[in-house]
């Protein structure tokens, strides 16, 4: 089953298979969750919630695909859920992910604001990630193009790691913008402690399917995994 999910992660295979979880009929979220855990014990469930429009349970697996499970607990679809809107398709999975990201107040992010903002991107970042450092060097160009860059913490090694400690210290510093830039350039930051959102942002990243950094969320709901130069990001934003 693990090898099956590895193959499903490829775009050509996502959302194409409808598979049974069990032969038992269930009617509530806890029973659906139990069915998923029994069928796929190798995966940890990040979150489960009912999609009202489709009538399916959305189950996010850590280091696995998003599942859409029937309310009777008997079948699931692996991959994104789409809604047919006249002649267009709307990605409901990306829409739900965007809603979770947009629900966070900017006061919990590290924000590099464009003077004449036309769009914004939200980036899950790790201070020790080489491609994150490359993207950070593009922030001035993005700002000049009218794109505000908003950072969320995603220490890839997890909560309690060295990267996590650095990011807590950045978020708890007197000038998080300045220190984020310095740490991404290799500076050592003194340990700072405070009530901070780093762990919650890391958990959110897992819930919305972040698998690496940088992971870029456009304000139109599109998710772009990996580094892109400023010019390419501006094109994706339609600017």
Spatial distance between the Cα atoms of 120 and 101, rounded to a whole number of angstroms: 12
pLDDT at 141: 97
Which secondary-structure segment (H or E) carries 59?
strand 56-61
Please tell me which residue in 80, 128, 150, 156 is annotated as part of the active site.
156
Spatial distance between the Cα atoms of 18 and 76, rounded to a whole number of angstroms: 6
pLDDT at 27: 52
Spatial distance between the Cα atoms of 85 and 106, rounded to a whole number of angstroms: 31
pLDDT at 8: 45
Relative orientation angle of helices 198-207 and 162-171, to the nearest 10 degrees: 120
Tens-level pLDDT at each residue, the chain (239 residues) = 444 444 444 443 334 344 445 444 445 777 788 888 888 888 888 788 787 767 888 888 877 778 888 887 778 888 787 888 777 888 887 888 888 899 999 999 999 999 999 999 999 999 999 999 999 999 999 999 999 999 999 999 999 999 999 999 999 999 999 999 999 999 999 999 999 999 999 999 988 888 899 999 998 888 898 999 999 999 999 98
Please tell me which residue in 128, 132, 133, 150 is annotated as part of the active site.
132
pLDDT at 21: 52
pLDDT at 140: 97
- Spatial neighbors of 212 by CB under 8 A, at least 6 apart, are 156, 225, 226
Q: What are the start and end residues of each CATH 3.10.450 domain in the chain?
A: 2-84
Spatial distance between the Cα atoms of 6 and 4, rounded to a whole number of angstroms: 5
Please tell me which residue in 80, 126, 128, 133 is annotated as part of the active site.
126
Spatial distance between the Cα atoms of 39 and 37, rounded to a whole number of angstroms: 6
pLDDT at 57: 85
129 is annotated as an active-site residue: yes
Q: The domain at 2-84 falls in which architecture? A: Roll (3.10)
Class assignment of domain 107-236? alpha beta
Q: Is 84 helix (H, G, I), strand (E, B) or coil?
A: strand
pLDDT at 12: 37
Spatial distance between the Cα atoms of 194 and 197, rounded to a whole number of angstroms: 10
144 is annotated as an active-site residue: no
132 is annotated as an active-site residue: yes
Q: What are the start and end residues of each CATH 3.40.30.10 domain in the chain?
A: 107-236
pLDDT at 71: 81
């Amino acid at each position: 089953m693990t090898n099956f999910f590895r193959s499903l992660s490829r775009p050509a295979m996502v959302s194409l298979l409808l598979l049974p979880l069990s032969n038992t009929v269930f009617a509530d979220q806890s029973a659906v969750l139990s069915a998923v855990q029994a069928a796929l014990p190798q995966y940890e469930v990040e979150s489960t919630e009912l999609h009202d429009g489709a009538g399916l349970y959305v189950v996010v697996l850590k280091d696995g695909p998003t599942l859409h499970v029937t309310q009777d607990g008997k079948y699931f679809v692996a991959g994104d859920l789409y809604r047919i809107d006249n002649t267009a398709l709307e990605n409901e999975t990306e829409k739900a992910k965007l809603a979770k990201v947009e629900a966070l107040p900017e006061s919990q992010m590290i924000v590099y604001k464009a003077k004449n903002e036309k769009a914004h991107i939200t980036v899950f970042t790790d201070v020790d990630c080489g491609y994150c450092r490359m993207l950070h060097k593009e922030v001035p160009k993005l700002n000049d193009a009218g794109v505000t860059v908003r950072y969320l913490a995603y220490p890839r090694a997890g909560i309690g790691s060295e990267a996590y400690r650095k990011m807590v210290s950045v978020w708890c510093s007197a000038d998080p913008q300045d220190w984020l830039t310095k740490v991404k350039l290799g500076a050592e930051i003194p340990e700072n402690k405070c009530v901070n959102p780093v762990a919650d942002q890391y958990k959110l990243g897992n819930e919305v399917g972040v698998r690496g950094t940088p992971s870029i969320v456009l304000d139109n709901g599109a998710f772009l995994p990996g580094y892109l130069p400023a010019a390419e990001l501006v094109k994706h934003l339609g600017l």
